[in-house]
Amino acid sequence: MGSLSKQEQVECREKAEYANVNWDELGFALTKTDYMYVMNFTEEEQKFFNGTLTRFGNIEMCPSSGILNYGQGLFEGLKAYRKEDEGILLFRPQENALRMKIGADRMCMPSPTVDQFIDAVKKTVLANKRWVPPYGRGSLYVRPLLMGTGRNLGVKPSSDYTFLVYASPVGNYHKGDLNLMVEDNVRRAIPGGTGGIKAVTNYSPVYKPLTEAKAKGFSDLLFLDASTGSNIEEGSACNIFILKGNVISTPTTHGTILPGITRKSIMEIASDFGYQVEERAIPIKEVFDAEEIFCTGTAMVVKSVASITYQGKRIEYKLGVETLAQKLHATLTGIQTGLIEDKLGWTMLID
Ligand code: COI
Q: Which domains does the chain have, with CATH numbers?
A: 6-170 (3.30.470.10), 178-336 (3.20.10.10)
Q: What is the largest CA-CA distance in the chain?
A: 63
The per-residue pLDDT for 7 is 78
Which of 92, 300, 303, 332 has the most ligand 1 atoms within 8 A of CB, as the residue to mutate?
300
Please give the average per-residue pLDDT across 301-311, as a whole number.
Answer: 97
End-to-end alpha-carbon separation of the chain, Å?
18
Atom 6 of ligand 1 has which residue's CA nearest to it? 237
The binding-site residues of ligand 1, defined as CB within 6 angstroms of any ligand atom, are 77, 203, 237, 297-299
Ligand 1 atom at minimum distance from 28 CA: 9
Q: For residue 237, how far is its CA from the centre of ligand 1 (angstroms)?
A: 5
The identity of residue 66, as a single letter, is G
- Model pTM? 0.94
The per-residue pLDDT for 351 is 75
228-287 tens-digit pLDDT: 999 999 999 999 999 999 999 999 999 999 999 999 999 999 999 999 999 999 999 999
Q: Show which residues are catalytic.
A: 198
312-324 tens-digit pLDDT: 999 999 999 899 9
Ligand 1 atom at minimum distance from 299 CA: 2
DSSP-derived secondary structure for 172-216: -SS-S--EEEEESS--S--TTSSTTTTBGGGTGGGHHHHHHHHHT
Helices 261-272 & 93-106 angle (0-180, nearest 10)? 130
